[in-house]
A and B are shown apart, each in its own frame.
Chain A
């Protein structure tokens, strides 16, 4: 069974631009969560989607948004990029919301210049 896939793996953007990251969960998994990882703040929860609905949201500004499609694939979007948005963005999939195990993808490394 294929694992969680994320595209692209690396991105370089400049301040003010916007970016869209994609995540495909493990086949059969319907919950996708997004996390931001930085050296200073560690792993921080962004939001969770299940059955195309946002179920949980972390403490991030409205510039961070997401959506989930009927095939459970998810995208997250960051608008008006700031230097501080440079981070590793990770998605995790589980069978359902609150599912026992969560499996992470390799992440997308975003650098904002």
Chain B
């Protein structure tokens, strides 16, 4: 079945630093979604990507849909303490309906 490898698993950074994380898939996806999850809550959608090569920003967040359709990355610029949380990538194949395959998550810690 489809598998997503997300890296890094965890990051410890200082406030103000930039962050980058990525996901690679064994299969082609037609949609990439990036979510952030706080403890005890559901994932919150950050950015959605629908086209190979697409680069989309949401405030300090920027994500790209890889041209091979098998990878995506998320950048966070000038990190702040409230960026702390777990970031997940999720991909959806063309015949998957609404079924999302999730990466393992990146735990981000920001030191003030």
Whether a CB of chain B sits under 8 angstroms from the CB of A81 is no
Query: Which residues of B lie under 8 Å from residue A43 when comparing CB positions?
Result: 43, 88, 90, 100, 102
Instruction: Please name the residue on chain B nearest to A106 by beta carbon.
Output: B42
Q: Is B58 an interface residue (CB 8 A)?
A: no
Interface residues of B (CB under 8 A from A): 1, 31, 33, 35, 40-45, 48, 50, 88, 90, 92, 96-105
A104 engages B97 (CB within 8 Å) = no
User: 1/0 per position for A64-90, CB-CB distance to B under 8 A?
Assistant: 000000000000000000000000001
Docked-complex contact A33 and B104, CB < 8 angstroms:
no
> If A31-B98, A45-B100, A100-B50 touch, does A107 touch B42 (CB 8 Å cutoff)?
yes
For the complex, give the distance between the alpha carbons of A105 and B45 in Å.
11
The dominant DSSP class at the B interface is loop
A85 to chain B, nearest CB (A): 19
A-B pairs with beta carbons under 8 A, tally: 71
Residue in A35, A48, A59 whose beta carbon sits within 8 Å of that of B97 in the complex? A48
1/0 per position for A81-113, CB-CB distance to B under 8 A?
000000000101010011111111111010000
- CB neighbours of B102 from chain A (8 A): 35, 42-44
B89 to chain A, nearest CB (A): 11
A45 touches B99 (CB 8 A): yes
Rounded to whole angstroms, the CA-CA distance of A43 and B91 in the bound complex is: 12
CB of B97 within 8 A of CB of A97, answer yes
Residues of B within 8 A of A35 (CB): 100, 102
Given the complex of chains A and B, what is the CA–CA distance between A100 and B71 in angstroms? 18
If A55-B98, A56-B96, A97-B98 touch, does A102 touch B42 (CB 8 Å cutoff)? Answer: no
* Cα of A48 to Cα of B92 in the assembled complex, Å: 13
Contact B98 A99 (CB under 8 A): yes
Q: What's the least CB distance linking A22 to chain B, in Å?
A: 15
- Least CB distance from A29 to B in Å reads 10
